[in-house]
Amino acid sequence: MRVIFMGTPDFSVPVLEALVAAGHEVAAVYCQPPRPAGRGKKDRPSPVQARAEALGLPVHHPVSLKEATAQAEFAALKADVAVVVAYGLILPQAVLDAPTRGCLNIHASLLPRWRGAAPIHRAIMAGDTETGVCIMQMEAGLDTGPVLLREAVAIGPQETTGELHDRLSALGARLIVAALERLDALTPEPQPEAGVTYAAKIDKSEARVDWTRPATEVDRLIRGLSPFPGAWCEVGGERIKLLCSAMAEAHGAPGVVLADGLTVACGTGSVRLLRLQRAGRAAQDADEFLRGMPLPRGTQLG
């Protein structure tokens, strides 16, 4: 099948690789333009662009698809289908209509729950016990199209967004290959009107830990924002990222370290901090972190 691939971040790369491995003709790869990154702020290509170029695939990175010239260039590729996964641009109707079989989106949730930009983060932050991937026919609305395939997975009790991200990326790659193989036999199922929730983009203002909240909420926040943007607290004026945690049984004043192994009291209950990161340094497991920055019992975290 002649495919246009549209994606930008790491999440999208296994999908592109799976399409190539399955023998589909990738006519073009669309991704976001290179962005300034690193200390030198030099333009850096997206993960998808880097992988596509390594595979010898033609890459397009328009700033917008609203212009007639960009839409004509897209239509001229004469694709059977476009596969879209975390691309980052809104697709105008002319683009949605251009491929013969339309545009298929890989979405990392069990729609209609968690439509929008951050479904993996929001699922963990909300305490969901399962999520999954949907292959959806795209239409003008935000993640509103009918679903061709879906598969659910359990969310582990200590799973982080980073870990779940990798699992769902691999699942999406497998499902899109299956969907393209069976496209004529699949029946699109309209999404139910009940159960719609929206996964708003993560704002960095959400990342500071409020130790007066229940331990269940603090644990979900830490795991849901790991590795990016990273939940954080302050110790002696220094910002510390908290990257992995687990529930604990101890009780005390909110934000106070209750044991040498970094158990910290919350509004109700406590959490055990398992992985942390100081500014400008690599992430460390709790034992290694404490050797460089002791936080004895009674230390107040802000």
Euclidean distance between the first and the last CA atom of the chain, given in angstroms as a whole number: 55
Quick one: which of 12, 47, 294, 57 has its CA closest to 165? Answer: 12
Does a structural domain hold residue 105?
A: yes
The rounded distance, in Å, linking the Cα atoms of 46 and 93 is 25
Judge whether 296 and 276 are in contact, CB under 8 Å.
no
CATH of the domain at 85: 3.40.50.170
Tell me the pLDDT of the chain (302 aa) as tens digits. 999 999 999 999 999 999 999 999 999 999 999 998 877 788 999 999 999 999 999 999 999 999 999 999 999 999 999 999 999 999 999 999 999 999 999 999 999 999 999 999 999 999 999 999 999 999 999 999 999 999 999 999 999 999 999 999 999 999 999 999 999 999 999 999 999 999 999 999 999 999 999 999 999 999 999 999 999 999 999 999 999 999 999 999 999 999 767 999 999 999 999 999 999 999 999 999 999 999 999 999 99
Are residues 146 and 188 both part of a single domain? yes
Same structural domain for residues 77 and 147? yes
**pTM of the model as a whole:** 0.95
Counting Cβ atoms within 10 Å, is residue 201 exposed (0-12), middle (13-18) or buried (19+)? exposed
Domain boundary among 198, 225, 247: 198
In a domain, residue 299? The reply is no
302 within domain boundaries? no
User: Do 253 and 267 belong together in one domain?
Assistant: yes
Q: 157 with 13, same domain?
A: yes
Note whether residue 208 is domain-resident. Answer: yes
- Of 178, 107, 179, 175, which Cα lies nearest the Cα of 143? 107
Count Cβ atoms within 10 A of the Cβ of residue 152 and give its class: 0-12 exposed, 13-18 middle, 19 or more buried. Answer: exposed
Looking at the structure of the chain, the number of domains it has is 2
| DSSP symbol at 185 | T
> Which residues does 239 contact at the CB level (< 8 Å), separation at least 6?
232, 233, 279
Query: Quick one: 68 and 173 in the same domain?
Result: yes
Asked whether residue 79 is assigned to any structural domain, the reply reads yes
Q: Does 134 fall in a domain?
A: yes
Residues 175 and 219 both lie in one domain: no
User: Is position 276 within any domain?
Assistant: yes
Q: Which domain holds residue 218?
A: 204-292
Please state the separation of Cα 131 from the chain's center in Å.
Answer: 12
